[in-house]
Amino acid sequence: MKNVEDNKGCFLVLENPQKRVVGSACLTEMNSFYEQHIKTLDFYIHPSYLNQAQDLIQAALKKAKESRTGIIQAYLAACDEKKIEIIEEAGFKREARLKGHFMVENERYDLLICGLELVKKNLFLKDLSFYYGGRPQYLKTSEFQAC
């Protein structure tokens, strides 16, 4: 949520007719000058409202396009079959599988990275000085004066 508060992403909610939150999605920017065209997507939807999952995902994709995002990535536990089905239905493709990177109740599962390319070519949206505390990342700490 800190990234959303710092204007580095967005948070969307899915409400039922009684205006109760039954799902949410969060898009977060990568914290790197060279990956600024990528956002990560995570979401949760109450099982009773899974039939509205695509509405929430499509709203997140719309926000991503409005912010000129090039690629969206979702990190999913391989055991979360419903979430994988939802993300693949939205057009995401499996890009990587990290063996044993996810633990649920002392059992290890693979972590899937799924991606969706929204824009083929991106321009840098933010200057290098926006990242790394306003200094080039490659500068050695010895080049700075101690306080």
Q: What is the pTM of this model?
A: 0.78
Query: Which residue in 65, 76, 14, 13 sits closest to 41, CA to CA?
Result: 76
For the record, the structure tokens of 65 come out as 């396009």
Residue 11 carries which DSSP code?
A: E
Q: What tens digit of pLDDT does each residue of 56-88 get? A: 999 999 999 998 899 999 999 999 999 999 999
Q: CATH number for the 2-143 domain, one of 3.40.50.11900, 3.40.630.30, 3.40.710.10, 3.30.70.420?
A: 3.40.630.30
The answer to whether 15 and 59 are in contact (CB under 8 A) is no
pLDDT in tens, 19-68: 999 999 999 988 777 888 899 999 999 999 999 999 999 999 999 999 88
Distance between CA atoms of 67 and 91, rounded to whole angstroms?
A: 19
Structure tokens of 141?
A: 């700490």
Quick one: pLDDT at residue 110? 96
Give tens-digit pLDDT for 112-141.
999 999 988 766 777 766 766 655 555 545
Tokens of 19: 């205006």
